[in-house]
């Protein structure tokens, strides 16, 4: 796995956006697999800027999100669909019919849609404090594909701050699997802040194990990890 250490979160975000922008310019109908969460916010912001200022054209790009909570209406502000609209889709020209977000009833259909699109060209992931990628929590099989999963206690606790009511905090989600992730042609792993330093080091340098889902990325031939200084203490 190649590791790129950037000076700070802004540099990480610009670097990630640059890689996405170049891939879109090279292949205008790129198949992109996209994360939510805090880490990619700066990347989305810079992609929106590039669309506005440089005319970066997403009109033929196909997008597949990594995951979505189960049980929230599509307009629920805590849903990943709402996040994607707020931070990206509403500000660029991705065509509505090219947007794919997994849902509980169609998880096999999601894998089929990825296949029909020609497979994932570029997949971007963050990493959870417990080593999850997408919502593949510790213990997930490396052979897993898109499916409904129970969220780890720690993941549920972290999600709490995004929901007004305790009762709305999702306990389950639909996520692409580890196998789905490993089949993408290129993977970008983004990690920012000191909170992630320990788990990032174990994911990149530690043993490959289903107890640390992100370690599966060591099995992929084309992964670039972009870390800011704080997340990269052991890589300087």
Binding residues for ligand F6R, rule CB under 6 A, total: 14
Which of 186, 101, 180 lies closest to 146, judged by CA? 180
Contact 216/207 with Cβ under 8 angstroms?
A: no
The burial of 161, by beta-carbon neighbours within 10 Å (0-12 exposed, 13-18 middle, 19 or more buried), is given as exposed
Pick the closer one to ligand F6R by CB: 24 or 174. 174
Q: Does 39 bind ligand F6R (CB under 6 A)?
A: yes
Q: Does 217 bind ligand F6R (CB under 6 A)?
A: no
Q: Does 126 bind ligand F6R (CB under 6 A)?
A: yes
Q: Does 132 bind ligand F6R (CB under 6 A)?
A: yes
Q: Does 35 bind ligand F6R (CB under 6 A)?
A: yes
Segment interacting with ligand F6R, rule: CB under 6 A, options 8-16, 20-28, 129-137, 222-230: 129-137
CB burial of 121-146 (b: ≥16 within 10 Å; e: otherwise) equals bbbbbbbbebbbbbbbbbebebebbb
Q: Does 234 bind ligand F6R (CB under 6 A)?
A: no
R_g of the chain, CA atoms, integer Å: 16
- What is d(CA 232, CA 212) in angstroms, rounded to the nearest whole number? 18
Segment interacting with ligand F6R, rule: CB under 6 A, options 8-16, 54-62, 84-92, 132-140: 132-140
Query: Nearest approach, Cβ of 28 to ligand F6R (angstroms)?
Result: 25
Residues in contact with ligand F6R by CB under 6 A are 35-39, 66-67, 126-128, 132-135
């Amino acid at each position: 796995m190649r590791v790129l250490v950037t000076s700070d979160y802004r540099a990480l975000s610009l670097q990630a956006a640059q890689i996405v922008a170049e891939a879109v310019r090279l292949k205008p109908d790129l198949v992109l697999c996209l994360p939510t969460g805090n880490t990619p916010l700066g990347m989305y912001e810079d992609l929106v800027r590039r669309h506005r200022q440089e005319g970066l054209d997403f009109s033929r790009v196909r997008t597949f999100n990594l995951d979505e909570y189960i049980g929230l209406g599509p307009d629920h502000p805590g849903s990943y669909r709402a996040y994607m609209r707020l931070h990206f889709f509403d500000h660029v020209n991705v065509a509505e019919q090219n947007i794919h977000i997994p849902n509980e009833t169609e998880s096999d259909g999601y894998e089929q849609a990825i296949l029909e699109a020609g497979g994932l060209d570029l997949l971007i992931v963050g990493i959870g404090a417990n080593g999850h990628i997408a919502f593949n929590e510790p213990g997930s099989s490396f052979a897993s594909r898109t499916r409904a999963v129970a969220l780890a206690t720690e993941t549920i606790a972290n999600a709490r701050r995004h929901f007004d009511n305790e009762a709305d905090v999702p306990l389950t989600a639909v996520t692409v699997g580890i196998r789905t992730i490993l089949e993408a042609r290129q993977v970008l792993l983004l990690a920012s802040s000191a909170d992630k330093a320990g788990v990032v080091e174990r994911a990149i340098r530690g043993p490959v194990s289903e107890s640390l889902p992100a370690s599966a990325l060591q099995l992929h031939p084309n992964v670039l990890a972009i870390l800011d200084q704080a997340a990269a203490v052991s890589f300087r």
